[in-house]
Structure 1
Amino acid sequence: MEKLSVISSSPLFEMLSPAELARLAELARVQRFNAGDVVFEEGDLGDSLFVIVQGQVEVVRRQPTGEVHPLITLSAPEFFGEMGLIDKDYRSATVRAKTDADLLQLTAQDLRAFRQSHGDGFTFVVVNIARSLSARLREANARLAGKA
């Protein structure tokens, strides 16, 4: 699948102009992962955002007992890894390919370059990340409330 069509289909990049979408496609790279491959691990320093092109990834956390606890499964055109870009902190979970997966990667450096050339578009992306995080927090709270 062409990078531009993946970026165009992601809700994260809605409201971007064709020129802004083309610039992001130019900056992004596609990474292939086989089922079971680790995309990043808990404790890694976050520096990239990923958009799922095809396949599924699973977000998991290792419990103090060593047991792996699945948190969520994501599919195209969802995205993940954005927290590492926002707070420049260590990853709080591990993401691994649940199936064979192609992921579009945008690094912090890529997004800085995008901000320099397309500041308004960058603002839209940040707002969409915040909306997504808010929705994910509401969903997590609802799941926790259901378990209580």
Structure 2
Amino acid sequence: MVKVELAKEFPLFENFTEKELQEIANYLDYKVYPKDEVLFEEGDPGDKIFFIVKGRVGLYRPDPFGNMVRVAVSEEGTPLGELSFFSNKLHSSKGVALKETHALILTREGYEKLKEEDPQLAIKLLEEIARIIAERLKEMNKKFVDTTCFIWGGPKK
């Protein structure tokens, strides 16, 4: 029942009915990561989506000198690892809990089982994840345009 209650708090699941949440909870794992614990390494298989219910995860990549540099932070209420998961690629960064982090986890095995047993619910989940990815991309595009227009003096008229 813990997973259902946590899923209710997660924004991605806000459009799901109680019955759908109870069904999805059957396919989710739950884990608490202490501060500084590694969720995944760069180069690990993207075989899980982490739904960060509470906490923060830093994403790190090596710079040209081999120093690990934080390139992003995933806050509570956001999915993590979904791009590697759906592209079936290796993680391109290292994920580390910046403070105690509680996560619901959808494994590849769980997702395949969900698709087989309840394809409509799997589609709904996928659509919600796609919505979040689209919102992030739109935000990144806006930041890119704002930055490049500042650097270049804006679009030519």
TM-score class, shorter-chain normalisation, is: 0.7 to 0.9
1:34 aligns with 2:34: yes
Confirm or deny: 8 A CA contact 1:16 1:121 kept in the other structure.
no
Any stretches of 5+ residues in structure 2 without a counterpart? 149-157
Q: What letter corresponds to residue 75 of structure 1 in structure 2?
A: E
Amino acid at match of 2:43: G
- Is 1:13–1:124's contact at 8 Å kept on the other side of the alignment? no
In the alignment, the residues of structure 2 paired with residue 2 and residue 96 of structure 1 have an alpha-carbon distance, to the nearest angstrom, of 24
CA spacing shift, 1:67–1:142, aligned 2, 3 Å: farther
Asked if the contact 1:62–1:68 (Cα under 8 Å) also holds between the matched residues in 2, the reply is yes
Shift of 1:146: 4.7
Q: Contact 2:55–2:75 at 8 Å: present in 1 too? A: yes
Q: Supply the distance in 2 between the matched residues of 1:143 and 1:60 (Cα, whole angstroms).
A: 21
* Contact in 1 for aligned 2:10/2:53 (Cα 8 Å): no
Contact 2:9–2:53 (8 Å) recurs in 1? no
Instruction: Compute the TM-score of the two structures, normalised by the length of structure 2.
Output: 0.82
Aligned residue in 2 for 1:16: 16
Alpha-carbon shift at residue 147 of structure 1 (Å): 4.6
Q: Distance in 2 between matches of 1:118 and 1:36?
A: 36
| In the alignment, structure 1 residue 81 sits paired with structure 2 residue 78 | no
Structure 2 counterpart of 1:129: 129
Structure 1 unaligned segments of length 5 or more: list them.
none
Identical columns (%): 26
- What's the secondary structure of 2:26's corresponding residue? helix
Tell me if structure 1 keeps the 8 A contact 2:60–2:70: yes
Q: CA deviation at 1:98?
A: 0.4
Pick closer, same or farther for the CA change 1:70–1:139 going to 2, 3 Å: farther
Instruction: Identify the residue that residue 97 of structure 2 maps to in structure 1.
Output: 97
For 1:57, what is the secondary structure of its paired residue?
strand
Mapped partners of 1:52, 1:121: distance in 2: 20
CA contact (8 A) 1:15 1:124 kept: no
Distance 1:18 1:115, change over 3 A: farther
Q: Is the partner of 1:64 in helix, strand or coil? A: coil
* Aligned mates of 2:68, 2:29 — CA distance in 1: 29
Q: TM-score if structure 1 supplies the norm length?
A: 0.87
**Alpha-carbon displacement from aligned partner over 1:111-143 (angstroms, at most 9, x marks no partner):** 111122221111111112222112222333334
Task: Give the conservation status (yes or no) of the 8 Å contact 1:60–1:95.
Answer: yes
Shift of 1:4: 0.4
Which residue is equivalent to 1:60? 60
